[in-house]
Structure 1
C-alpha cells in the first residue's frame, strides 16, 4: 500500500525544488537582460530602469505567491493567499499606471516648453 503522507511530502519537496530552480533561472535571466540593456545604444535610461523594476516586482510577487501556495494548509488558506495576492497586484498596477501617466505628462510638458 502506498503511504499517501510520504507521497505528498515527496511531491511537495519536488515542487519546492522546482520553484527554487525557477528563482535561480529568473535571476540569471535578469542578469542577462541588465547586461543587454547596458550594452545597447539606448543604455540604461530612467524608463528602462523603471520598466525593469516593474517586471522584477511582478516576478517576485509571483514567486512569493507560489511559495505561499505550496505551504497552504487547506482550501481556506489557499483562497486567502490568492485574495491577498490579487489585491496586492491591483494596488501595484494602479501605482504603476499612475507613475507612467505622471511620466508621460511630464514628458509632454517638457516638449511643449521647448
Structure 2
C-alpha cells in the first residue's frame, strides 16, 4: 500500500461520516478509483488553513490587522464567485479550480480572523 492509498483510506474513515463537507464523489479528488473524504475545494481550504495556523509562529505579524482583513476578504472572493456561479448553474467548475479557490479560501479565512483578533486584542 502506498502513502496515497493510506491517506485516501484514512480520509474516508475520518471525513465521510462527519459533516465537514458534502464529499460528493464527482467533486472530490480521486486516486486509483478511490475518492478522498473531502471535496476538492474543502481539501484545499483545510490544507491551507492548517498550514497558515501552523506557520503563525514563524510568520509573526507581517501585515497590519487592517491589511490582514482586506487581503483576507480579497482572497475569499474567488472561492465565493466560483462556488456561487456553480451553485446557480451559470457554469461547471473543475477540481483544479476548486482546489485553487479552496487554497485561497483557507489563507483568506485565517488572515481575516487574525486581523480581527489583533484588532480585538489590541
Give the TM-score of the pair, scaled to structure 1.
Answer: 0.39
Relative contact order higher in (CA < 8 Å, ≥ 6 apart): 2
The structure with the greater share of residues assigned to helix is 1
Give the TM-score of the pair, scaled to structure 2.
Answer: 0.37
The structure with the greater share of residues assigned to strand is 2
Q: Which has the larger radius of gyration?
A: 1
